[in-house]
């Protein structure tokens, strides 16, 4: 059974049109992460929630925001997507934020910006 679910798997949006990607988990984990992977690049952490505490990476653009309405769901909002935001977006969860805690990933949402 899928433990970390991402919808949709593929998303096409227009330049400047707001888009929301969603992630849900059945693991009841405290921490949820969003990573961005551009073509031929390493996945890069955008931000994460520990419970309701939001932690933004210093170099994450303001264009990217996140919401976590409850333990199970987390959303990634891109307010005004640019062509450079086309990427694979991965959601992950872990029980705690400990360094040796396994992170469980969803299959990703591939975002295309036209």
Phi, psi at 63, each rounded to 5°:
-60, -20
Which residue in the block uniquely carries the two structure tokens 């949006």?
13
101 vs 114: CA distance, rounded Å: 38
Applying CB under 8 A, which of residues 16, 84, 107, 114 lies at the interface with another protein? 107
Positions in 22-81 near another protein (CB under 8 A): 31, 33, 35, 40-45, 48, 50, 55, 57
Which of 103, 109, 111, 113 is in the footprint of another protein by CB under 8 A?
103
Contact yes or no for 32/53 (Cβ under 8 A): no
Least spacing, CB of residue 59 vs another protein, in Å: 9
Smallest distance from another protein to CB 17, Å: 26
Number of residues near another protein (by CB under 8 A): 26
Cβ neighbour number for residue 109 with a 10 Å cutoff: 21
**10-13 and 109-113: which strand pairing?**
parallel
Rounded CA-CA distance 76/30 in Å is 17
Q: How far is the CB of 33 from another protein (least distance, A)?
A: 6
Positions in the binding site for another protein (CB under 8 A): 4, 31, 33, 35, 40-45, 48, 50, 55, 57, 90, 97, 99-108
């Amino acid at each position: 059974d899928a433990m970390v679910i991402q919808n949709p798997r593929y998303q096409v949006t227009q330049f400047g049109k707001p888009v929301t990607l969603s992630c849900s988990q059945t693991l009841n984990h405290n921490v949820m992460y969003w990573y961005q992977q551009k073509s031929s690049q390493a996945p890069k952490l955008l931000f994460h929630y520990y419970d309701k505490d939001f932690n933004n990476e210093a170099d994450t653009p303001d264009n990217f925001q996140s919401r976590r309405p409850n333990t199970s769901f987390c959303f990634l909002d891109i307010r005004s997507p640019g062509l450079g935001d086309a990427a694979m977006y991965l959601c992950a969860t872990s029980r705690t934020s400990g360094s040796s805690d396994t992170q469980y990933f969803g299959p990703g949402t591939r975002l295309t910006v036209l």
